[in-house]
A and B are shown apart, each in its own frame.
Chain A
Amino acid sequence: MSGGQSSQDRTPTANADVCVVGAGPAGALVADRLASAGHEVVVLEAGPRFDPEEREERMESHLRPGDDTPIWGMGGPRDAYSSSGERFYPLNAARVKGVGGSTLHWQGMVMRMHEQDFRLDSAVGVAEDWPIDYDDLQPYYAAAEAALGVAGASDNPFAPPREEPHPLPAFPPSHSDSLFADACEELGIATHSVPNARNSEPTDDAGACVGYGTCRPVCPSGAKYEATRHVDSAQRGGARVIDEVPVQRLEHDDAGDRVTAAVYVTPEGEEHRQKADEFVLAAGGVETPRLLLLSASEQYPDGLANRSGAVGRYFMDHLFAGVGGRLDERTRQKHVGFNTTESHQFYDREDASRGAIKLEFLNYAGPAPADIAMGADSFGDDLLGEIREGYGNHVAMGALVEQFPRAENRITLDRSRTDDHGNPVPEVIWSLDDRTRRTIERANEIQRAVLEELGADIEWVVGPDSTGPAYHHMGTTRMGTDPESSVVDADLRTHDLGNLTIAGSSVFVTGGAMNPTLTIAALALKAADAIDARL
């Protein structure tokens, strides 16, 4: 667990080899890898370094109604944004600014993308192929699983080829998983374990999961992977991490070939310029394109690294689809905050008619006893009766559903509003197309069939009209071989500026329906190797 302090000295590092913007998983892994290779690394993080001792109070804020304090401090002028598409996008619920980034509040599900994900155009005539394929990324997936300490099993018949077992054994299935497994078997649906970035056994990094049950949005024990681990490792390797220094813009040389400095502001309002030989943008799928757009210059009036016009475009997220209900038997929910069974049977696309579907079987359906108690208007024995009625019989299935890239879904600048430093705020323009809606409907069909086979009374459905994003920001600085249509190359280096790398899910060409962090980590390690080779 991180025990670091907030920065006291926020002046730039002299003679830095690498400047990393953002201390989430991508930035932390790049920084750690390059620091351990002997390079002088400085990390600039817009948010604070949170005190691990405050985790349990954050957990209480999450568990108890009435305290509207944001769990991780998101909101206010620093984080102002606009949402102007057909669908409102709750951006500040979707991200964390701070050392560790969004791994502070993530669920911790870490799957490899499928081979088909990297060649959708070739396979079914949709979107574009990535400039790399699964084979290129496979060794980095293995390295990423080792880095994140993934607990998993090789029992998934739909998963891409593996070279070795997961670093830690998978968490065993839950009681409700066994109920679902029987129903799925009747329907011919194969189920399997879930790779989790949380310790099923103690390691040198952290103890085993102790079942707090509040993984999202806070794990008090540190058993869930957080990027603070690699930030700390990078610091032990000599890297310097400066918190609460939002980068305002990147500057480039006269030729427009190289970034020369990242301009940042301290909490006291002092502006500094961090120079380096290589720059890595790892600020997430919204702030990364925003920073490039904010860095427009006379030479690059449409923003840095944006010769293609693709910066900010092709914004994608995964959509949630779900069905829930109740059984006439006990389902043993709410003991843990993570899932232990999924089905990837409906993942790969047979044709262009729908996107990928990843089915989840939830271990946390329905309310917990304390949830019911704190919202009830009865007390004493009546309240206990209400709790016994309300807890214990719930079941639910979720799904992540793919959204294909469309240029009109984008992150741009809202020049009518500014943040606390006078910069235009990010504007999220987001909508769903008919194919995505159909894919959500298909997920609901499967989920309904399973719950009906179980004998559940279905009580709720999250379908195309009520769906929401899974908070996976992808596509806004897409990877490709053609500088006219993409922002970064296969090594994640921008086509336009030779010393600027972008790490994170903004480089995804398509999003699949797998939680993206393992792929973010694998790509970050690949990018770090390329930077190391250039230094």
Chain B
Amino acid sequence: MRLTRRDALAALSAVGAAGVAGCSAPDTERPEDPKTTSERDAPELADDDLETLVALANVLYPSEVENVAEFVGAYVRPRVRDRPAHGRGLLDAIETLNEYAQTLEGERYAGLDAAAREELLTYMAVDTADPDPHGDDDERLRYYLVNDLLFGLYASPTGASLAGLENPPGYPGGTASYQQGPAVTDTRGNQRGPE
């Protein structure tokens, strides 16, 4: 399953960073609003930060998901820029993850192999931590990194459709799909909704 820029925009609409509030279906392009002072002061996601997030997403996302790097960039960049407080929390969490990786493995997180990246999350107890934006390191990482990326995927129609839900909560997917029955069964026996 290939994630697209449209999926990223759909996920952004679910989390309030894409500017598609209102009564119409979501746009596929984000409007270019004039920047305010606070936006000019907003944090920016550096290439290294994005690399860390993509490395993490490759652990979190199922193997059948393709085009992870482009999706993560399209999802996270405007989110960091348009919501400065959340963006700073996310960037701090990236720094924390890299500090742990450097201390324990001698490498930035993105430099670790796939198994080591997942083991580090387990070692830090991020897998079992309760998400908390103001909590300890494991709780902050769970909130800002793991759950941001998981929500980005599974609150998008393409991600939720992996489990048979093409209009997940938070996505303005209209009022037709709820009326429709399950449509097809794929080769793995998974029910999927109408295309």
Residues on A facing B (Cβ under 8 Å): 1, 52-53, 55-57, 59-60, 63-67, 171-175, 178, 200, 202, 206-214, 220-223, 329-330, 332, 334-337, 340, 363, 368-370, 372-374, 377-381, 383-384, 387-388, 391-392
Q: Which stretch from B18-26, B38-46, B104-112 is at the chain A interface?
A: B18-26
B62 touches A381 (CB 8 A): yes
Output the nearest chain A residue to B168 by Cβ-Cβ distance: A368
- The answer on a CB contact under 8 Å between B167 and A335 is yes
Q: Which of A66, A369, A380 contacts B130 (CB 8 A)?
A: A66
Q: Identify which of residues 135-191 in chain B touch chain A, using a CB-to-CB cut-off of 8 Å.
A: 139, 142-143, 147, 150-151, 153-155, 159-160, 162-165, 167-175, 177-182, 190-191
Contacts of A363 in B (CB 8 A): 178
A509 to B159, CA, bound (A): 50
Can you list 30 contacts pairing A with B, beta carbon distance less than 8 Å?
Answer: A55-B16, A56-B16, A57-B83, A59-B14, A59-B170, A64-B131, A64-B151, A66-B133, A175-B179, A175-B180, A175-B182, A208-B175, A210-B175, A211-B171, A211-B173, A211-B177, A221-B22, A332-B181, A334-B165, A336-B167, A337-B169, A369-B165, A369-B168, A370-B151, A370-B154, A370-B160, A370-B169, A373-B151, A384-B162, A388-B190
B23, B159, B190, most chain A CB atoms within 10 A: B23
The answer to whether A63 and B151 touch across the interface, beta carbons within 8 angstroms, is yes
Q: Which residues of B contact A209 (CB under 8 A)?
A: 175
B61 pairs with A380, CB closer than 8 A: yes
Q: Name B60-94 residues within 8 Å CB distance of A.
A: 60-64, 83
CB neighbours (8 Å) of A213 from chain B are 167-171
B14/A206 in contact, CB under 8 A? no
Q: What distance in Å separates the Cβ of B45 from its nearest Cβ neighbour in chain A?
A: 18
By size class, the interface of chain B is: 35 or more
Beta-carbon nearest neighbor of B83 in chain A: A57
Contacts of B178 in A (CB 8 A): 174-175, 211, 332, 335-336, 340, 363
| Closest B residue, CB atoms, query A388 | B163
How many whole Å from B82's CB to the nearest CB in chain A? 10
Q: Which A residues lie within 8 Å of B171 (CB)? A: 211-213
Distance (whole angstroms) from the CB of B147 to the closest CB of chain A: 5
The residue from B14, B165, B172 contacting A391, defined by CB atoms under 8 A apart:
B165
Assembly CA distance A173 to B16 (angstroms): 29
Taking a contact as CB atoms closer than 8 A, the residue among A55, A175, A329, A383 that contacts B21 in the complex is: A55
Which residues of the partner chain A approach B175 to less than 8 Å between Cβ atoms? 171, 200, 208-211, 336
A330 and B182 in contact, given A60-B170, A211-B173, A370-B168 (Cβ under 8 angstroms): yes
Chain A residue numbers with a CB within 8 Å of B63 are 380-381
| Alpha-carbon distance between A92 and B147 when the two chains are bound, in angstroms | 27
Among B167, B168, B190, the most chain A Cβ lie within 10 Å of the Cβ of B168
Q: Mark B15-36, 1 if CB is under 8 A from A, else 0.
A: 1110001111100000000000
